[in-house]
Structure formats: C-alpha cells, structure tokens
Amino acid sequence: MSRTLYIPEGYKSSLTLRETQHAIKYIKDIFQQALSIVLTLDRVSAPLIVRQGSGINDDLNGVERKVDFDIKEIDGKAEVVQSLAKWKRMALYRYGYEPGEGIYTDMEAIRRDDDTDNTHSIFVDQWDWEKVITREKRTEEYLKDAVRNVVKAVVYTKRKVSHRYPVLGDRITDEVFFITTQELEDMYPDKTPKEREDLITKEHGTVFLMKIGGKLASGEKHDGRAPDYDDWALNGDILFWDSVLDRALEISSMGIRVDETSLKTQLAECGAEDRMQYRYHQMIADGTLPLTIGGGIGQSRLCMLLLEKAHIGEVQSSVWPEDMIEKCAEAGITLL
C-alpha cells in the first residue's frame, strides 16, 4: 500500500450491508436534488471517454497516466476521463446557458496512478457542476457564497439521513471557516499541508481552504492544481472533520475558472504554454467560452462521511491491493 491504511480502534459499521446500499441511494437522491436547487443547476449527460489529444481531459497535476485505448472505427485513441473540469465549460457554451444558469452531472472516472487508502480509490465518482457567471462575479465573495450553498446542501442531506437512520449521530457544522493556504502555512509553518488541514478542520469542523495551486512563501505548493481550469486566486477545497477517521476529509474541490489573463499567467508558471494549441484554451483566450464557476463533489466520500464509514470501499465497488483487503477483513471492515 502506497498510503497508510488507518483502522479506527473499535470501529464497527453502524449500518448493515443492505442498509448501507439503501442509504447510498437515499443520499444520492437527496443531495443532488438539494444541490440543483441551491445552485440553480440542470442535470445533463456526460462522457466517460474523450478523444486523445482533444485537450478536454483533465490533466490533474500533469503527471498522472490516463487510461487509453484504440477504437476499431476511429483513427487515434480515446481516453477515460480523469475529471470533467474542461468538458463542462464547453458544454455550457454549446448548450447556450446564460449567466446564473448551470449544469451538474454524474461523473465517473479512473485515475490509475492514485494511491489507495481509506479515502482514495482509483475509481472516482462525483457530481461535477458548472455555472455561467458574469465578469463582475469573479470575486472571492461570490466564491464564498457558492461554498456556503454547497455546505447547506450537505448539512440538509445529513439531517435527512440521520432522521432515517437514528443510529447515525454525528452532526455537521454548517458555519464555514474560510482561510487561505498562505494563512494556514503562517499558522503552522513546521507542519505538512495535510497536518495543517487536520489541525484547522478539527478546530472549526467545516473549512474552505482557499488559493490552491500557486507557490507559498516557503517556495512550496500546498497542493497541485492544473493551470488551465481553476483560477488559483479564486479556488479552494471544502473540508469536513471526519470523527471516524479523526482527520479532515476533502469533499469538494471548486473554484472560479480561469479567464484569458489567469490562463496565460498559470500556463507560463507551469511551463505549459504548449496547451494553447488546443481549441479549448484558444476559446478561453479569445473570450468565446463563458466565464464560469464550478467544482466536483465526491459521491463516495460524501456517503462515507454521512454514513460514518471508515473506508471508501464500504460505499463503492473498486479494486484494492490484496494486503489492504486482508487488513480490512481482519478489522471487520467489509469492502464492497
């Protein structure tokens, strides 16, 4: 195992396998309806695969290998998506959405180079959403309002789930604490980024950690972000305190997307100016694509948090290292 598997002392699932399956569906039904209401979003269909070389697939940190394959009737190769960050913005343009309107979709992806542990799987499932905004809305305050709305949907869903399954007791803090990565580094200069996240989230319960992607005063990055979708000055992660795992759990990465200026600056910082060959990037640079805000919300992670599970494999079916399967079985953690 590349990451450390954590076995909570005395852990036992509060729900049976059958109850868990019912609860997963209930969470997904409730949450996506709540999300669509608070953010004014339409549900749309989304691709599992895109053409290789289209520039649409998410490059994540730029080093992860994509799953690709050839197709009998088409020249070149196709790739399984790693996320839909770029596709969504193109969809808003193609479908003719106006400012204040948006979309969400069920996204499934494979990230073959992810390390697996309690909260990471090579299979990724999330609600991807994107919304058209005006240039005047490209502000930190607008971003914060969107974060509060996402948290509102999570808290509402938790309330409904706990009412249906009273054995689930943990409450989620609905008041969001906002802090930047630089402020967090200044508070805990001798800690790792993950240790900082744990400390601040344990104190406040619900945190939005802002400005992820650029280098901090230390010369290090808090975390990597692709240079061509989030504006690193207007993005962040929503973190909730997970009392089962005794750590911060990232549920959503979101942000206001790059405009022509931040795209150019961030590509240059990463030495990725060659991406301007793609039509997607050219459409941002020439103002063809709308200005947007968007993000991804982990479906399995949300279920894991709300159902108070110790391992993401308790709420999704995936492939795990043999030693992880054995250790979980010994601890009474049933992986689906």
128 is catalytic: no
Which listed residue (13, 14, 36, 58) is catalytic?
Answer: 58
Which listed residue (230, 237, 259, 314) is catalytic?
Answer: 237
250 is catalytic: yes
Residue-level pLDDT at 1: 37
Q: Are strands 74-80 and 68-71 parallel, antiparallel or unpaired?
A: antiparallel
242 is catalytic: no
Residue-level pLDDT at 3: 60
- Cα angle 95, 238, 8 (rounded to 5 degrees) comes to 130
Domain 17-330 has CATH 3.30.930.10: yes
Which listed residue (89, 111, 196, 225) is catalytic?
Answer: 111
Count CB neighbours of 189 within 10 A.
Answer: 11
Residue-level pLDDT at 62: 63
Which listed residue (14, 82, 121, 253) is catalytic?
Answer: 253
Give the residue from 253, 206, 207 showing the smallest Cα distance to 230.
253
Six-digit token pair at 57? Answer: 């697939």
Count CB neighbours of 171 within 10 A.
Answer: 12
Six-digit token pair at 142? Answer: 């607008």
- Compute mean pLDDT per 10 residues along the chain, 336 residues long, and list them: 75 92 96 96 91 74 77 85 86 95 92 85 92 97 97 96 90 93 96 96 97 94 90 97 95 96 94 90 95 96 95 92 89 88
Sheet of 292-298, strands arranged across: 41-43, 102-110, 123-132, 292-298, 247-257, 230-242, 206-210, 177-180
In 205-316, where does DSSP find H-type helix?
260-270, 279-285, 299-306
Is 84 in contact with 50 (CB distance < 8 Å)?
no
In 165-225, where does DSSP find H-type helix?
181-187, 193-204
Q: What 3 state SS string does 7-65 have? A: CCCCCCCCCCHHHHHHHHHHHHHHHHHHHHHHHCEEECCCCCEEECCCCCCCCCCCCCC
Which listed residue (250, 259, 308, 314) is catalytic?
Answer: 250
111 is catalytic: yes
Domains in the chain: boundaries: 17-330
171 is catalytic: no
Six-digit token pair at 154? Answer: 């999570």
Residue-level pLDDT at 149: 97
- Cα angle 172, 156, 209 (rounded to 5 degrees) comes to 50
First to last CA, the chain: 18
Which listed residue (126, 266, 300, 316) is catalytic?
Answer: 126
58 is catalytic: yes
The model carries a pTM of 0.92
